[in-house]
Amino acid sequence: MTDSEHVPESNVDVLIIGAGPAGLMAACWMAHCGVTTRIVDKRGTKIFCGQADGLQCRSLEIFDSLGFADRAWKEANHMIEICMWNPGTDGIIRRSDRIPDTIVGICRFQQITLHQGRIERFFLDNIKKYSKDTIKVERGVLPEFLEIDESKVKDQSSYPVTVKLRHLTDEEATPQQQINGSKISDGLFRSNLMHADDEDDLIQKSKSRAGTGEIVHAKYVIGCDGARSWTRRTLGFELQGEATDFIWGVLDIIPITDFPDIRMRCAIHSAENGSLMVIPRENKLVRLYIQLTEVTPDASGRADRSKITPDIILNAAKKILSPYKIDYEYCDWWTAYQIGQRVGTQFDAHERVFLAGDAVHTHSPKAGQGMNVSMHDTYNLGWKVALVAKGIAKPSILSTYQSERRRIAQDLIDFDHRFSRLFSGRPAKDVMDAAGVSMEEFKKAFVKGNLFASGLIVNYGPSSLVSQAVDESKGVMSDTTPTIGSTNAFAKQSLAKGLPIGMRFNSFKVVNQSDARPWHFQEKLKSTGQFRIVVFAGNILNPSQKKRVEDFCEALGAPNSFYRTSATSSPPLDNPIEVLTIHSAKRVETNLMDFPEILHPYNSHTGWDYDKVFVDDVSYHEDTGKAYEGYGVDKERGCIVVARPDQYVGWVGDLEDFNDLQKYFEGCLMLSPRA
Amino acid sequence: MTDSEHVPESNVDVLIIGAGPAGLMAACWMAHCGVTTRIVDKRGTKIFCGQADGLQCRSLEIFDSLGFADRAWKEANHMIEICMWNPGTDGIIRRSDRIPDTIVGICRFQQITLHQGRIERFFLDNIKKYSKDTIKVERGVLPEFLEIDESKVKDQSSYPVTVKLRHLTDEEATPQQQINGSKISDGLFRSNLMHADDEDDLIQKSKSRAGTGEIVHAKYVIGCDGARSWTRRTLGFELQGEATDFIWGVLDIIPITDFPDIRMRCAIHSAENGSLMVIPRENKLVRLYIQLTEVTPDASGRADRSKITPDIILNAAKKILSPYKIDYEYCDWWTAYQIGQRVGTQFDAHERVFLAGDAVHTHSPKAGQGMNVSMHDTYNLGWKVALVAKGIAKPSILSTYQSERRRIAQDLIDFDHRFSRLFSGRPAKDVMDAAGVSMEEFKKAFVKGNLFASGLIVNYGPSSLVSQAVDESKGVMSDTTPTIGSTNAFAKQSLAKGLPIGMRFNSFKVVNQSDARPWHFQEKLKSTGQFRIVVFAGNILNPSQKKRVEDFCEALGAPNSFYRTSATSSPPLDNPIEVLTIHSAKRVETNLMDFPEILHPYNSHTGWDYDKVFVDDVSYHEDTGKAYEGYGVDKERGCIVVARPDQYVGWVGDLEDFNDLQKYFEGCLMLSPRA
């Protein structure tokens, strides 16, 4: 490109830089919500092996909400048990403990492993389907310039971010295979285990624009361009934290071994030769994280990774695993890393350019958190940007991205720091060995870490999207007192003790009133961009309770209710609020037609909606009827709960607390009273 | 084509005529087993709406064994409850009963509904994947001539069946949309609800051969070309049975109705206006089967279906459903039919040309059996043809196709005859009303029919593939007596009471010894073409039991064992017999390496096999540990069970009954003692 040539210019609502899991998650939201979006990546193809591989429970819940958890679940290795191996007094490693990999009862999914390339495949297929092929990753495209026009950032109709993009030539877009920035080639750019449905991506896309440049004006830019993020550096933001002394090697191999727990997740501390983690994978693969005690950093604190080879890593593994033998014929991928724990100082610029994923937090990969937390960043951000871009939500909600996610990043860094130290340390010989790591302490950290690593204990604090729970010990409100006239929406946690405000909407099984089919209720909280009002209608057969439900529905359906005055938009997000009902009467004693119409809306083309009213009752083939108990809701009186588009609980109140519910939505949605 | 032109000739192992569900199932087996195959269909495209829609439990088990039950399960409507509606003494219909649609506990799947076009899509994708794109449906190809050279039928290396095919032109291959043979157009050739992944099939395939002919020499031909099968007529075989007086209309609509059970399967008998069946479907669709009492057959017994319109059918439905209202804006498909129950006299010619599906049994569609039984025909036939074609199995097993499937077809016809009469009859006004149908009798037939309709009670009698169970009441054999020197392999049903010989291998959950993951055991009986020896190893921690297992494994591994002398073949079917183990000791007290090598074979490239040994023990997240109880096997002493490639139980014996096991395989496989 020469600057004298004509450079094409265009507008787009959202520009995503980087098509790894974080960028693809952002694009996925835009596809589901119907937002005009481009996503660019400087690499010439998607990746096909190696990289991240662990998927938390919460990631699977999110994938399910997007529509592809089943594909991951089917292809992945399921992680069931963790075995801990420690040296005995004779220095020989032995299994000392077994614990479940996923805490029992915490989620309907368990942690799984599957390489990042497959996850990206599922995202790409999902984006194609929901965007009707309008959002495609543009590969071999490099951002070169970014500028925010601060005079326009408060104008919702403007495109204040200008980005210059360059379409790379083939040679530019096909990088020498780099591993964590070193120049080591792993010689395995294309995995032998590649799936047939990935093959199309080997064919390079149209080259017609190769070597040319263009100017894009965007309402929002999301930088998901990795640990050395161009976007972050261009904004002048930094990562803060510390480096590490520990150097680790990674091998993805089909192991030939007599080690009995090779298909379990194992944490192995040897007496003198460092530690090793076993992560069983799909397709007979096993990933080994191996501490390289014989590779030492130089004076600058960095090791010369060009000297590290698969043989060096394998030999380190052999010493740690001795007296068991390990070898391989097939290696799918390998790398070595030395990573500190660092977190970004700022997650956005003017709430117009956002950073996510490795661009704002780096840490060791061993806990299998990186890809998950990165995807969760943009799962948190994407719907907010989409709803603001569509004029449905207030721009002020965008500040909750940093307030909600930066703390999570900090928690992750702290966790990784602690965990890495314990894992990399030499096992204590006895209680007096202060320089060694106590294996009991390690196990405790592991168990606690498992809870953290599930991704399910994330709790977003109060904001415009999460109501402040009232202090019920002070008795400000009883269940029957009308709500006070505060300008903020207060929430009554006691009405749904199993649905902590600020945490993800837990899942219990319910039964469809109309066709008796059991569902995990979370399956009904799809990522459509909609807020949900969940009406726990209680015992609808009790006339006084039925009256309460009818009164709530009348308020909800009144002309000036937020439900009627929220901004409508075009499909697929034609209604920003969906109402779902779970009642607790007997299914066979009730009838969909007995419920107020607003709970199962009538459409003149397709009749009544049969997919909105559910019951907490027994069913024929599955264990149902425990939802009210699990959610901690009174089976007679019920309550009302708001789930955000990302399934987090935003508000809990009584059927009489309509004013507070109205305030909640006044706080986050654009409402316009109807004429 | 003119006969004077050169007509190309070629050989193929298997030629399948007709690419409906029966033909695709046959092609699927050939793809999984790696058999050279062509499949032709005279239609120009696949179908996109309408046709069959009910899938039995057994069909889902089969789909799972092929690898796509999950796709059907996800897209389909799940059938949970049947509601029966009958007129009261006032003549007004009321719900009289509810019963589960699928008998509780009978299967891990429940009956679902999804239209035939989607099922065909799953087959096509699966065939493409497993055949590596070598087996493709050739559409617009018509068979014109078929001849069997009887002098060659006993020669396994020969191609005794000659078929002349004609590649149709566009006009010939795009039929006027026909419904059950009438000339009524439904005006909805392409459904509005078509899936994106079907769109490629709208593009006509290469026309280079249009209008030309060719000669194919085949080892085997499978005719799956429907009720008016060209293959059957060419062979001169007939369907025997009777016609029916009853005329039914079918509407696939999105209903607009206040009938409360519209999302349930309903059997509705009106007092005077005939009967109606409601079949809820995917995508808000509902199928209505509506008795057309006002359309009467002429003197020949046939109704003039050209006079039947959707309005006529809808009006009949309105009368039956009154006082409830029903209407629609969207109709996906409709038809009308008048079908008797008929079954083919012969299912094969010289065990070289086989007939399957509607070509050998026709009946009414209301019980949702047609597509299922048709697919089960070729699920029974396909692996037999594949294994004989590959030289693995003896040609004599091919006679079991007719002996096993013709009785099933007859059962189906009898069931449909009984069921249709009860369903089409006027409800009895009281016990004295002999001309009417007793609603109590109808319910009993329905419940009994449900068991039949599950597809799970199929029991194939003794043959070269199903051993004769010994009469244990006569005490011929006790569990410890050596087996008698019969030339036939006798089986001991008492050792595995939950695995009836001749019936499908029921599924209970087991746990993988190596990685602690729970599996439904049936998930490990994939349709690879392999027979399985399931070693119920019992309490392997008991030294005397361990010795029994080791002795069995030694016999199995001996040079002249069937396991060593069975014909090897090329991948994917490189080993015709797989050994799977389920033991009953505690998982954490046992170790894969303690089991004889033959139970978890070592491969010099990929190490030990971690997917062969399972345990009947508890697990963290699922309800396991009940497999021995479910299978009726002694937890201490275990037993040996043979599962055929189609999951049917072929033999049951003690660990000492190796001679009988050897005889079983001598009866069906080609064995050649090693040098």
pLDDT at B149: 98
Cβ B254–A606 below 8 Å, yes or no? yes
pLDDT at A72 over 70: yes
Least confident among A352-361, B231-240, B300-309, B416-425: B300-309
Residue-range domains of chain B with CATH: 9-76+111-242+341-425 (3.50.50.60), 468-668 (3.40.30.20)
A69: nearest Cα among A79, A77, A59: A59
Question: How far is C-alpha A653 from the chain's CA centre?
Answer: 27
Confidence check: pLDDT of A175 > 70: no
Nearest to B593 among A78, A258, A607 (CB): A258
Identify the band that residue B428 occupies on the pLDDT scale cut at 50, 70 and 90: confident
Residue recorded with tokens 């193809």: A45
Chain A residues closer than 8 Å to B102 by CB:
620-621
Record: contact A516-B592, CB cut-off 8 A: no
Contact residues on chain A for B517, CB-CB shorter than 8 A: 78, 80
Please report the pLDDT score of residue B209 as a whole number.
78
- pLDDT of B67 over the 80 cut: yes
Residue B480 pLDDT greater than 70, yes or no: no
* Res A200: pLDDT: 55
- Cα radius of gyration rounded to whole Å, chain A: 26
- pLDDT on residue B177: 47
Res B207 pLDDT > 70:
no
Q: pLDDT tens digits, residue range A581-621? A: 999 999 999 999 999 999 999 999 999 999 999 999 999 99
- Does the beta-carbon distance from B256 to A606 stay under 8 Å? yes
Measured between beta carbons, the chain B residues lying within 8 angstroms of A621 are: 80, 100, 102, 104, 110
Q: What is the pLDDT of residue A476?
A: 43
The whole-angstrom separation of Cα A486 and Cα A604 is: 40
For residue range A413-456, what is the model confidence (pLDDT) as tens digits?
888 888 888 888 888 888 788 888 888 888 888 778 888 888 89
Nearest by CB to residue A196, choosing from B129, B517, B593, is B129
Can you tell me the distance from the alpha carbon of A35 to that of A44, in angstroms, rounded to the nearest whole number? 25
User: A256 CA to chain B: closest CA distance, Å?
Assistant: 4
Pick from A26, A106, A24: which is nearest to A453 by CA? A106
| Chain B touched by A200 (CB under 8 Å) | no
- CB within 8 Å of chain B, chain A residues 373-392: none
Tell me the residue type at B82.
I
Q: What is the mean pLDDT of residues A46-73?
A: 90
Mean confidence (pLDDT) of chain B? 89
Q: What is the pLDDT of residue A82?
A: 94
Inspect the interface and report whether the beta carbons of A620 and B81 lie closer than 8 Å: yes
Taking contacts as CB-CB distances below 8 angstroms, the residues of chain A near B112 are: none
* Confidence at residue A187, expressed as pLDDT on a 0 to 100 scale: 33
Cα-flanking dihedrals φ and ψ of residue A6, to 5°? -70, 125
From the candidates B87, B143, B160, B365, give the one annotated as an active-site residue.
Answer: B365
pLDDT in the model for residue A180? 37
Q: If pLDDT is split at 50, 70 and 90, which confidence band does B368 have?
A: confident
Q: What distance in Å separates residue B80's CA from the closest CA in chain A?
A: 6
C-alpha distances (whole Å) from B341 to each of A158, A367, B441, B451, B525 are 70, 63, 21, 20, 34
- For residue A187, which phi and psi values (nearest 5 degrees)? 65, 10
Interface test with B, best of A60, A79, A80, A282 (most B CBs within 10 A): A80
Task: Find out whether B22 and B224 touch, Cβ atoms under 8 Å.
Answer: yes
Q: Which of A66, A175, A70 is nearest to A112 (CA)?
A: A70
- For residues B132 and B126, give the distance between their C-alpha atoms in angstroms, rounded to a whole number: 10
Please indicate whether, in this complex, the C-beta atoms of B515 and A280 are within 8 angstroms of each other. Answer: yes
CA distance A605 to chain B (A): 6
A-B CB pairs within 8 A amount to 103
Q: Do B591 and A260 touch (CB under 8 A)?
A: yes
Distance from CA of B124 to the nearest CA of A (A): 15
Q: Which pLDDT band holds residue B568 (cuts at 50, 70, 90)? A: confident
The answer to which of A234-238, B240-244, B284-288 has the lowest mean pLDDT is B240-244
Asked if B622 is an interface residue toward chain A (Cβ–Cβ < 8 A), one would say no
The better pLDDT of the pair B131, A369 is held by B131
Q: Is B463 on the interface with A (CB under 8 A)?
A: no
Say which amino acid occupies A160.
Answer: P
pLDDT at A191: 44
Arithmetic mean of pLDDT, B607-615: 97
Cβ atoms of residues B212 and B345 within 8 Å: no
Q: What is the pLDDT of residue B477?
A: 41
- Arithmetic mean of pLDDT over chain A: 89
Nearest beta carbon to residue B98 from set A77, A284, A588: A588
Q: Taking CB atoms and an 8 Å limit, are B619 and A80 in contact across chains?
A: yes
Alpha carbons A388 and A396: distance in angstroms, whole number: 9
Which whole number is the average pLDDT over A219-246? 91
pLDDT digits over B621-665, tens only?
A: 999 999 999 999 999 999 999 999 999 999 999 999 999 999 999
Q: Which 226-285 residues of chain B touch chain A by CB within 8 A?
A: 254-258, 260, 262-264, 280, 284
Which of A365-369, B578-582, B596-600, B671-675 has the least mean pLDDT?
Answer: B671-675
Q: Is A447 on the interface with B (CB under 8 A)?
A: no
Do B592 and B608 form a contact (C-beta atoms < 8 A)?
yes
Of the listed ranges A545-554, B221-230, B331-340, B429-438, the least confidently predicted one is B429-438
Strand stretches in A528-593, DSSP E: 531-538, 577-583
Alpha helices in A84-195 (DSSP H): 116-130, 170-173
Chain A positions touching B329 (Cβ under 8 A) are 604-606
What is the rounded distance in angstroms from the CA atom of residue A567 to the CA atom of residue A554?
A: 20
pLDDT (0 to 100) of residue B538? 98
Please state the rounded mean pLDDT for residues B344-351: 96
pLDDT at B295 over 90: no
Q: Has B379 been annotated as catalytic? A: no
List the structure tokens of B131. 């055949």
Q: Which of A74, A514, A515 sits opposite B70 (nearest CB)?
A: A74
Task: Kindly report the nearest CA distance between residue A604 and chain B, in angstroms.
Answer: 8
Residue A94 Cα, gap to closest chain B Cα (Å): 14
| ipTM (interface pTM) | 0.91
More confident residue, B416 or B191: B416
Q: Do B515 and A77 touch (CB under 8 A)?
A: yes
Active site residue B289: yes
Test A264 with B102 for CB contact under 8 angstroms: no
Q: Which residues of B213-223 are buried (b: 16+ CB within 10 A; e: fewer)?
A: bbebbbbbbbb
Smallest Cα distance from A213 to chain B, Å:
34
CA angle centred on A264, ends A262 and B627, rounded to 5°:
110
Write out the two tokens for B546.
């361990």
**B263: nearest CB among A110, A610, A620:** A610
Catalytic (active site) residue A504: no
- Closest to A377 measured CA to CA, from A347, A333, A414: A347
Angstrom distance (rounded) from CA A538 to CA A583: 5
DSSP assigned state of B315: H
- CA dist A495 and A487 (Å) reads 21
Q: Which residues pair with B124 in a beta bridge?
A: none
Q: Cβ of A98 and B588 within 8 Å? A: yes
Among this protein's residues, is A365 annotated catalytic?
A: yes
B593–A110 CB contact, under 8 Å: no
Cα atoms in the 13 Å half-sphere on the side-chain side of B175: 21
Average pLDDT over residues B221-249: 90
User: What pLDDT was estimated at residue A204?
Assistant: 44
- Structure confidence by residue, pLDDT tens digits, B498-555: 999 999 999 999 999 999 999 999 999 999 999 999 999 999 999 999 999 999 999 9
Helix (H, G, I), strand (E, B) or coil at B517: coil
What's residue A327's pLDDT?
97
Closest partner residue to A329 (CB to CB) among B284, B591, B605 is B605
Banded pLDDT at B48 (limits 50, 70, 90) = low
A607–chain B Cβ distance below 8 A for any pair: yes
- Which of A284, A620, A622, A624 should we substitute to test contact with B (largest number of B Cβ atoms within 10 Å)? A620
Select from A589, A621, A623, A624 the residue whose CB has the most chain B CBs within 10 Å, as the one to mutate to test that interface: A621
Residues of chain B with Cβ-Cβ distance to A260 below 8 Å are 591-593
Under the banding of pLDDT at 50, 70 and 90, the label for residue A186 is: very low
Residue A304 confidence (pLDDT): 75
Structure tokens at B393: 């199995």
pLDDT at B672: 85
Q: Which of A573-582, B200-209, B393-402 has the lowest mean pLDDT?
A: B200-209
Q: What is the DSSP string of B489-540?
A: -EE-GGGGTTS-TTSB----EEEETTT--EEEGGGGS-SSS-EEEEEEEE-T
Does position A648 have pLDDT exceeding 50, yes or no?
yes
Structure tokens at B39: 């499949």
- Summarize the confidence of residues A540-560 as an average pLDDT: 97
Q: How confident is the model at residue A472 (pLDDT cuts 50, 70, 90)?
A: low
Over its C-alpha atoms, chain B yields an Rg (Å, rounded) of 26
Q: What are phi and psi of B134, to 5 degrees?
A: -85, -25
